Every structure is written in structure tokens, then in C-alpha cells.
């Protein structure tokens, strides 16, 4: 037997050795899917002899991609790991090779949210917009919606329109939406930059208009493997179909029970209907759970069995028996938090490390009371709220220096031209912006051309330009870590922080240097400045998680893909988890999948809690249906629920489910129809509010209109008259 296959169970061996055609692996939580993927890659390379450069392995986070590379290096003994990356990182690789097809330079810029905000600031200042017109956050959302849904061919405008025509469309725009959208496209093209949504769009466009390039990539990628397939969206699905069309070798791994990103475009149907979309599909079930105790697995199976849109399966535990899952119902949110913290302190007293404990919740606002109690009880904790290491001021400044050296782009220039102070303030920056607009050039180029102007006397503009030019001319021969050290030193940035006494920021810069060094080592190949900058721009929130010895607080979405020995899932109340925003049966199934993900994060012990109280809308808070979805015999109740509370909760849940069912069935009548209500009499349907699953009806005997639920018993007036 191949060394690669040693230690694999039968289902994992099937997944590894079934190499040709379309293969779907349904991998339950904790079933070793990452192990199967990495061993399959090694099997293709070591046992079959496939070149690593002819394999694409897609993961959904950079963290997962790096872990996969390390595993594969250990298995193959080779530093060449082909294309192991996220969809977006792979697209960066394609574009770095072929974006010149659409007249973009190969050293294009990849934007993150901070860069987009910097562009928006320029647009707002130029066109007199304020945050009252639209916040930056809403502007980013609006741009994304227009790019994906309302104007999906926008990139053809960016590609086809000359810069001056794109600028004119921006200047001609009147409505704030149009001003922001076209101004953003103009700013993007001005510095040849692409954001997250552009990367796949541009690759698909290039493949659609250039058959030679499309065929080159199709032939190159002899084997395609996709992890977390349940999370792919429409654009990723389209890209995958194009790439696998030549060799017809596509291997997907996923779990429909862990589809929790439909709000981001994912659809459970891509994995459920895989055998209908492709021919001769082989499905392999990996159900052995190596992560959690039998008691936790049983609770997870019991919960998810309530969903209908799934492949019926049960996780099979192999770990020895341990304690049952604990359910605690508290009278108040404060009492709930105090119980959790008391249990944590007891775990610590029994020798458990704080770093092995996590508190998960559906939404961030739940953490407030937990924080208060943790602080009061002096229990160290860390909240993972999506604020990334790479978004800190000093980190953005340092990276902007590197980007200016590589790209000489406006965003980086605006950020660091006067950091440290060089007397290039608002007046001089306005002068450069006006010059750049009149002469269709970058701000850096404008400074170069006007450096001898009277306006820049008594500034350090000359030294700044000399610094950037010196590094721009020689950075290709330097390791990125060495370049970063030199820039921070010679720019005076670190001296500035030392003068300010900003030790925390200096520590963060030291951490940045360490991360660059580790990235260079992990590459196992030549690492260019452009590669590193693209890598940083694509980093996800969970990539920044650290191993500090403190209790970890985070949302369930953030916890996806992670595990913690002891997990507390709090706030399991109707209107909280499931969310009060859940308006469809499909949405409720996703909420249940999210709870399933939370349950399966725990290898050793799981505690679930809720509290009575009031929701935001003033309604009473009841225990979550997900608690009742689990066979009661599988849980240890710390105290029995009052009969009246159970009755009211069940009534509330039943009403909610009837509402969801009514919404799923849709309206029977349409505007203009005449209806008869058994109590309110005859009337006409005026409108339909789909989000509320309600008709707006003007009853003949009532002075004002009423909103009537879809589930209410209504008859068509003609049928009613005929039945008299």
C-alpha cells in the first residue's frame, strides 16, 4: 500500500484514489476532509506522477490554503504545491499572467475596504457629497450590488471606455448613486485597480473573449479540487465549470448541512444537485467523526435531522463516551452570563486552559453582558469581531509604503505622503490633485513633475520622491522582509512612533515583519513584492486569530472551520437564534445549519444556554426551537422549564412555522381580486407585501385598509357566491 494511503479509513481511501471524472464527497463535520484533500493531492503527484503545476486546489480562506500547502509539502517532500489558493487568489494568478489581454498592466492593484473608502473620500470631496448622502459602508454595499446584480456587465465599460470617457460619465452623473458608482469605476481604472468582486469577473470575461487563453488554462489544470463546495456562489460556480470543461476532472468536498453563507451568494443546491449538473458523478460519503464525543455528535445529528433540504446522513463518532451536552435556562441575560463565567472558572480549576474555551453567539450584541461579567470576574477574554490586524493604522501605513514603491498609486500616496510630517498638507495636496486631473496623471507623477515649484519649497517633498525612486529602482532584488525593514527605517516612520512613545504600534510593526518573514518561508518559492501585497489584500478575518490564553468570544460564522475543546453556545432564544429576520422556510433551515455548525465546533464539551427577557421589538423571549429540536434525552437540563413556559414557547414556535409555511406557499390571490373573509366580509386585494406574507385588502364595510396574513382563510368572491 502507498505510504500516502496509510492511516486512511475506507471512505477516505476511496476519495483519494478515485481520480478521474466528476466526484462528490459529502464530508460530515470532523470527518477528516482536509486530510483526504491533502492526501489526494499527494497521491496524484507521488503515485500517479501528475505535475503539481497542473493541479488546482481551491479553499475558502488563506489560512486553509496555507495549512493545506504545509500538509502537502510534508507528504510530497516538494516545495512546489501548484495552485493551492482561494478562488480570488487563483484569479489574481490568472490576471497577473493574462490581464494585458484587456489592456491592463500585469502589476495591477488589488483593493481592500480601506482602499475603497480612500477612493470614496476623493469622490465625495470632488463632488460635494457628504455622509448624509450615503455612508462609506452603504456606498460599498451599493457598489457591490450594482456590480453583481444591477449592472453585471460594468467591467465591459471599465475595459472598453478610455479613461477620459469614463471620467466624463462620472462628471455627468447627477444622482448620488451614479456619482459614486461611476466615480469609483473611474478611480479604479485610473490606477488600474481591481476589488474583490472584479477578480472573478475579469477572469470570466477574458475566458469568454479569448479562446486561446481559456484553452491554455483548461489544459493546464488537469485536476481540479474544491473544498467547502457548499459555500460557492454563482460566479465561482461559473468559473469552475469553465475550468473543468477540457479534462472533465472535478473533485468537490463539502457538507450541505454546513451551508451558512447564502447571504453571501452561496446556495445549498450546487452541492445537492451536483449529480444532475454533471455526468457519471460518483458520490462518496465520509461520515466518521473524529472530532467530537458521541454525546455531542448525537445532539448535532438530532438537531440537523429536522431539515428537509439535505442529503440524509448521520455522523458516526469514534471517540470514547464523555459527559452529556448541558442545557441551562436562565431568567435574565445577566444570570446567563454569570452561569457561563462560573462554569468557565470551574473548568479552569479542573486544569482546562482558557485558550481552549470559546463562547459562541449568533450576533455580536449578545457579547455585551458576557463582557461585563468576564471583566468583573477578571477572566481574560478576546473578542474576534472582524477587526483585522492588517486594518490597524500603522500596518496600513507600512503596507502603503510598499504599495507606493510597487505601483505609485494615488491611494497609497494620499495615505503616506505626509506621514511622517513632510509639510505636504491639504493645500499642497489639493494643488497636486488639480494638476493630476488636468494632466491625466497620478498624484505621485504630479509631484515629480512639479517638485521644483515654489509651492514645495520648505517641504520634504524632494527627500520623499528620492526615497520612493531609490526603492522603486531596486526592490525587485530584495526580499520583502528586508525591503520593509529598510523602508520603515529610512522613511522615518519607526522614528516617528518611537518619538510618540507608541510601543504598541511598534510591537504591531514587529509582528508585521514576522508575518512577512513567515510568508516568505511558506511560499517555498520566489516571493515578489506584488505577490505579497495581493496576498495581504485577500486576507480574511479568521486569518488573524491568535492563540492567546484567553477565552475566545466570536459569532458562529466566525467560528466556522475552527474547533475549541469546550464550547459555550449562548443566546439560544427565539428571535436571537434563530434570528428574528428569518422570513422563509429556507432561511430557517440555514439558521438550523448554523446551530449545527456551532454544535460541531466542540470536541470535548458543549454547553448551550438561553435567557428570558425581552427582544428588541418588546416581545417576550422564549427558548429557541433548536433546543426542542434535540431529543430531550440527549441533554442534561440544569433545571426543568416551567410548564407554562414550554406551552407558550411551543405555541410561539408553531405560529412562526405556520407563518413561514404561508410565505413559502405564496399568495393565492393577486391585486384586483375580489375576496371574502369569514369575519370581515367582502373586499378587494389592493397590494401584496411579500416580506410580511400579507395581503393589503380594502374591505367594503371598513373605512381603512387591513393587512391580512396569507394563512388567513379567504375565498374568491365568485366561488363564495357560487357556494351559497
What would the mean pLDDT of 109-129 be, rounded to a whole number? 91
How far apart CA 587 and CA 584 sit, in angstroms, is 5
Say whether 77 counts as a known binding-site residue: no
Phi then psi for residue 134, to 5 deg, are -170, 135
Could you read off the pLDDT of 572-593 as tens digits, one per residue?
A: 999 889 988 887 888 899 999 9
Q: Are strands 706-709 and 694-699 parallel, antiparallel or unpaired?
A: antiparallel
Model pLDDT for residues 28-52, shown as the tens digit of each residue = 999 998 899 999 999 999 999 999 9
| 30 annotated ligand binder | yes
* Segment 310-359, tens digit of pLDDT: 999 999 999 999 999 999 999 988 899 999 999 999 999 999 999 999 99
Cell numbers that stand for 699 in this block: 374591505
Mean pLDDT, range 133-142, rounded to an integer: 89
- CA–CA separation, 625 vs 612, rounded Å? 14
723 pLDDT above the threshold of 90: no
Instruction: Examine the pLDDT at 387 and tell me if it is beyond 60.
Output: no
pLDDT of 567 higher than 90? yes
What cell was used for 105?
498592466
Percent of the chain exceeding pLDDT 70 equals 94
Question: Count of alpha carbons within 13 Å of 537, Cβ hemisphere only?
Answer: 27
3-state secondary structure of 273: coil
**Residue located via cell numbers 440555514:** 590
Residue 31 annotated as lining a ligand binding site: yes
| Per-residue pLDDT at 711 | 76
33 is in an annotated binding site: yes
499 labelled as ligand-binding?
no
pLDDT reported for residue 337: 95
The reply, when asked if residue 61 is annotated as ligand binding, is no
pLDDT range class, residue 718, cuts 50, 70, 90: confident
Q: Please list the active-site residues.
A: 33-34, 227-228, 258, 601
Report pLDDT digits (tens) over 138-152.
Answer: 899 899 989 888 888
15 assigned binding-site residue = no
Are 96 and 121 a contacting pair, CB within 8 Å? no
Q: What is the pLDDT of residue 617?
A: 54
Predicted pLDDT at 107: 87
The model carries a pTM of 0.80
Is the pLDDT confidence value at 496 over 60?
yes
Q: Largest Cα–Cα distance of the chain, in whole Å?
A: 96
Q: Which three cell numbers stand for residue 62?
A: 488563506
Amino acid at each position: 500500500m502507498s505510504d500516502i494511503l496509510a492511516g486512511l479509513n475506507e471512505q477516505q481511501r476511496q476519495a483519494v484514489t478515485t481520480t478521474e471524472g466528476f466526484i462528490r464527497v459529502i464530508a460530515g463535520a470532523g470527518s477528516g476532509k482536509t486530510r483526504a484533500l491533502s492526501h489526494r493531492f499527494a497521491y496524484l503527484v507521488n503515485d500517479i506522477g501528475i505535475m503539481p503545476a497542473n493541479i488546482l486546489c481551491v479553499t475558502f480562506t488563506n489560512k486553509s490554503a496555507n495549512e493545506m500547502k504545509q500538509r502537502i509539502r510534508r507528504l510530497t517532500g516538494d516545495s512546489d504545491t501548484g495552485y493551492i489558493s482561494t478562488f480570488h487568489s487563483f484569479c489574481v494568478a490568472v490576471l497577473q499572467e493574462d490581464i494585458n489581454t484587456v489592456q491592463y498592466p500585469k502589476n495591477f492593484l488589488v483593493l481592500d475596504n480601506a482602499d475603497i473608502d480612500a477612493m470614496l473620500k476623493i469622490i465625495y470631496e470632488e463632488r460635494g457629497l457628504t455622509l448624509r448622502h450615503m455612508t462609506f459602508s452603504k456606498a460599498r454595499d451599493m457598489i457591490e450590488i450594482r456590480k453583481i446584480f444591477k449592472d453585471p456587465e460594468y467591467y465591459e465599460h471599465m475595459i472598453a471606455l478610455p479613461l477620459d470617457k469614463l471620467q466624463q460619465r462620472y462628471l455627468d452623473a447627477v444622482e448620488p448613486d451614479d456619482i459614486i458608482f461611476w466615480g469609483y469605476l473611474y478611480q479604479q481604472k485610473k490606477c488600474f485597480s481591481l476589488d474583490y468582486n472584479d477578480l472573478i469577473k475579469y477572469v470570466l470575461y477574458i475566458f469568454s473573449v479569448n479562446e486561446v487563453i481559456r484553452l491554455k488554462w483548461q489544459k493546464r489544470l488537469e485536476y481540479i479540487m474544491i473544498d467547502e463546495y457548499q459555500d460557492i456562489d454563482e460566479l465561482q460556480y461559473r468559473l469552475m465549470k469553465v475550468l473543468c470543461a477540457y479534462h472533465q476532472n472535478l473533485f468537490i468536498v463539502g457538507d450541505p448541512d454546513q451551508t451558512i453563507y447564502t447571504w453571501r451568494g452561496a446556495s445549498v443546491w450546487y452541492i445537492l444537485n451536483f449529480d444532475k449538473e454533471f455526468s457519471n458523478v460518483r458520490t462518496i460519503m465520509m461520515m466518521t467523526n473524529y472530532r467530537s464525543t458521541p454525546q455531542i455528535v448525537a445532539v448535532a445529528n438530532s438537531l440537523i435531522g429536522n431539515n428537509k433540504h439535505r442529503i440524509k446522513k448521520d455522523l458516526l463518532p469514534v471517540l470514547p463516551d464523555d459527559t452529556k451536552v448541558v442545557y441551562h435556562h436562565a431568567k435574565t441575560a445577566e444570570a446567563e452570563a454569570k452561569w457561563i463565567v462560573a462554569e468557565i472558572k470551574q473548568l479552569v480549576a479542573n486544569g482546562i486552559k482558557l485558550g481552549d474555551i470559546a463562547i459562541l453567539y449568533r450576533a455580536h450584541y449578545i457579547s455585551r453582558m458576557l463582557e461585563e461579567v468576564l471583566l468583573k470576574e477578571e477572566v481574560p477574554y478576546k473578542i474576534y469581531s472582524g477587526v483585522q490586524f492588517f486594518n490597524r493604522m500603522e500596518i496600513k501605513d507600512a503596507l502603503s509604503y510598499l504599495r507606493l514603491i510597487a505601483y505609485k498609486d494615488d491611494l497609497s500616496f494620499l495615505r503616506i505622503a505626509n506621514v511622517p510630517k513632510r509639510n505636504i498638507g491639504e493645500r499642497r495636496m489639493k494643488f497636486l490633485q488639480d494638476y493630476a486631473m488636468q494632466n491625466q496623471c497620478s498624484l505621485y507623477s504630479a509631484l515629480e513633475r512639479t517638485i521644483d515649484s515654489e509651492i514645495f519649497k520648505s517641504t520634504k517633498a524632494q527627500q520623499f520622491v528620492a526615497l520612493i525612486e531609490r526603492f522603486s529602482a531596486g526592490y525587485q532584488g530584495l526580499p520583502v522582509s528586508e525591503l520593509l525593514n529598510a523602508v520603515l527605517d529610512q522613511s522615518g516612520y519607526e522614528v516617528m512612533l518611537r518619538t510618540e512613545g507608541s510601543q504598541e504600534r511598534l510591537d504591531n510593526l514587529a509582528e508585521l515583519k514576522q508575518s512577512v518573514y513567515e510568508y516568505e518561508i511558506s511560499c517555498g518559492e520566489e516571493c515578489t513584492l506584488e505577490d505579497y501585497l495581493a496576498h495581504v489584500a485577500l486576507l480574511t478575518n479568521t486569518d488573524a486569530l491568535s492563540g492567546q490564553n484567553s477565552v475566545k468570544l466570536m459569532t458562529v460564522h466566525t467560528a466556522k472551520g475552527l474547533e475549541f475543546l469546550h464550547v459555550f453556545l449562548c443566546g439560544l432564544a427565539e428571535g436571537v437564534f434563530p434570528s428574528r429576520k428569518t422570513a422563509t422556510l429556507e432561511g430557517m433551515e440555514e439558521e438550523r445549519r448554523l446551530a449545527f455548525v456551532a454544535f460541531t465546533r466542540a470536541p470535548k464539551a458543549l454547553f448551550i444556554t438561553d435567557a428570558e427577557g425581552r427582544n428588541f421589538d418588546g416581545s417576550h423571549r422564549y427558548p429557541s426551537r433548536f433546543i426542542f429540536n434535540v431529543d430531550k434525552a440527549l441533554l442534561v437540563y440544569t433545571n426543568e422549564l416551567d410548564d407554562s413556559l414550554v406551552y407558550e414557547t411551543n405555541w410561539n414556535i408553531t405560529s412562526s412555522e405556520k407563518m413561514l409555511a404561508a410565505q413559502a406557499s405564496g399568495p393565492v390571490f393577486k391585486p384586483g381580486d375580489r375576496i371574502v373573509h369569514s369575519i370581515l366580509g367582502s373586499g378587494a386585494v389592493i397590494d401584496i407585501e411579500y416580506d410580511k406574507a400579507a395581503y393589503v385588502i380594502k374591505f367594503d364595510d371598513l373605512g381603512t385598509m387591513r393587512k391580512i396574513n396569507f394563512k388567513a382563510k379567504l375565498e374568491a368572491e365568485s366561488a363564495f357566491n357560487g357556494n351559497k
